[in-house]
Every structure is written in structure tokens, then in C-alpha cells.
């Protein structure tokens, strides 16, 4: 009887994990995409987040908590990816292999379209971008955003304020030019 009960319990957990995966994957991919700007990387990060949480699934006391764990894991993986990418770019720039054309600043995009604004968001520093994504895309409160980013509410306010000022300055600069 014990073997049958444990097998049924295991099947039940597998079904509930599969349901969570099906329900939460699109949202996790979307959040990772907003953080990284790369669809393929976003899919990989979202799947990696699920893999990491699968081993811990049986320890989660409440299924509702899974959403929070997933969000935090996606943010952490995205920030790690962005840090690695920044280090790689710095190395390539130092070696001369990743030099950008000199006219990069000359043709500033017109922010009248969503894609242009998205390009400006992608240029924000990683933590500012994460704060903006969590506050405005995920619609989290400052307190929840602070918990996900593991910082104070004041730090979230500062990150969002600096990000918005940077975006405003970019838009103003383009309108003047």
C-alpha cells in the first residue's frame, strides 16, 4: 500500500508541476524577454528557472508561492545573464573586436514607436531595467519589487526614478535633434 500511495502522490505532484509549467511559462518567457531583449535567451532562462524550481517543488509549502519563486528566479537568472554579457562586451571592446561604428549616436531613433522606446529601455543599466520591468510590466508594488530585487523600497524608487529620467532625457534629446 505504501508503494501505491507514494506513486499516486508522485503522479499528483507531476501533474501539478506540469500545470504550473503550462500556465506560467509564457509569463516567465515574457518577463525574461523584457529583461534581456532576446527571445531565445528568454526561453532558455525561463526553462532554466523551472528546472531549478522543480527540484525544490516538493519543499514549497503553498502552490501560490511558486509564482513568487519563479519570478525571483527569472529575475536573478536574467541579471546574471546580463552581467555575463556586459563582461563579454567589455572584453571584446578592450580587444577591439566589438567596436561600434562612430555614427551610432548620430542616428538617434524616433521614440514615436514602441520599438524605439523598447530600444531605449534595453540601454538602461541592468538593475534599472529590472526595476522598470517589475514595476510597470509585472505591475508589482514598490515593496514587492524590492523583495524580488533583494533591496530596499527606497532603492527601488531610486532605480525607477533614474531609469525614467534617463528615458525622458533620451526622448527630449531626440525631439530637440
Same structural domain, 12 and 43: yes
Whether residue 36 lies inside any domain: the answer is yes
**CA 159, CA 153: separation in Å to the nearest integer?**
10
Q: Which of 70, 78, 175, 69 is nearest to 132 (CA)?
A: 78
Same structural domain, 19 and 42: yes
CATH of the domain at 169: 1.10.10.10
The three cell numbers of residue 74 are 527569472
Express each pLDDT in 99-129 by its tens digit. Answer: 444 444 445 545 456 777 888 888 999 999 9
CATH of the domain at 86: 1.10.1740
Last residue of a domain, one of 98, 130, 147: 98
In the predicted structure, residue 28 carries a pLDDT above the cut 70: yes
Same structural domain, 89 and 173: no
> What pLDDT was estimated at residue 19?
81
Express each pLDDT in 53-107 by its tens digit. Answer: 877 766 666 767 788 888 999 999 999 999 998 888 887 777 775 444 444 444 5
Express each pLDDT in 117-176 by its tens digit. Answer: 888 888 999 999 999 999 988 889 999 999 999 999 999 999 999 999 999 888 887 655
Whether residue 104 lies inside any domain: the answer is no
| Number of CB atoms found within 10 A of residue 31's CB | 24
Count of structural domains within the chain: 2
> What pLDDT was estimated at residue 113?
65
Nearest-10 Cα torsion for 32, 23, 71, 35: 10
In the predicted structure, residue 42 carries a pLDDT above the cut 90: yes
**CA 6, CA 24: separation in Å to the nearest integer?**
26
Whether residue 103 lies inside any domain: the answer is no
Q: Which of 31, 66, 56 is nearest to 45 (CA)?
A: 31
> What pLDDT was estimated at residue 67?
84
Same structural domain, 8 and 90: yes
> What pLDDT was estimated at residue 129?
93
Same structural domain, 17 and 73: yes
Q: Which of 52, 49, 54, 34 is nearest to 124 (CA)?
A: 34
Same structural domain, 91 and 113: no
Same structural domain, 13 and 87: yes
Last residue of a domain, one of 98, 131, 164: 98
> What pLDDT was estimated at residue 173?
77
In which domain, by residue range, is 130 found?
A: 109-177
Same structural domain, 78 and 11: yes
Same structural domain, 124 and 92: no
Amino acid at each position: 500500500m505504501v508503494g501505491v500511495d507514494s506513486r499516486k502522490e508522485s503522479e499528483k505532484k507531476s501533474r501539478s508541476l506540469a500545470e504550473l509549467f503550462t500556465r506560467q511559462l509564457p509569463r516567465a518567457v515574457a518577463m525574461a524577454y523584457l529583461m534581456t531583449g532576446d527571445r531565445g535567451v528568454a526561453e532558455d532562462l525561463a526553462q532554466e528557472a523551472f528546472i531549478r524550481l522543480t527540484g525544490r517543488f516538493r519543499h514549497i509549502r503553498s502552490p501560490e508561492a511558486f509564482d513568487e519563486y519563479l519570478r525571483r528566479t527569472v529575475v536573478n537568472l536574467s541579471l546574471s545573464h546580463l552581467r555575463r554579457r556586459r563582461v563579454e562586451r567589455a572584453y571584446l571592446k578592450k580587444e577591439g573586436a566589438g567596436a561600434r561604428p562612430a555614427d551610432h549616436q548620430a542616428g538617434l531613433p524616433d521614440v514615436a514607436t514602441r520599438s524605439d522606446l523598447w530600444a531605449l529601455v534595453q540601454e538602461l543599466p541592468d538593475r534599472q531595467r529590472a526595476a522598470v520591468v517589475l514595476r510597470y510590466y509585472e505591475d508589482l508594488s514598490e515593496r514587492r519589487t524590492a523583495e524580488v530585487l533583494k533591496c530596499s523600497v527606497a532603492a527601488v524608487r531610486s532605480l525607477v526614478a533614474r531609469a525614467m529620467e534617463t528615458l525622458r532625457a533620451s526622448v527630449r534629446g531626440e525631439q530637440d535633434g
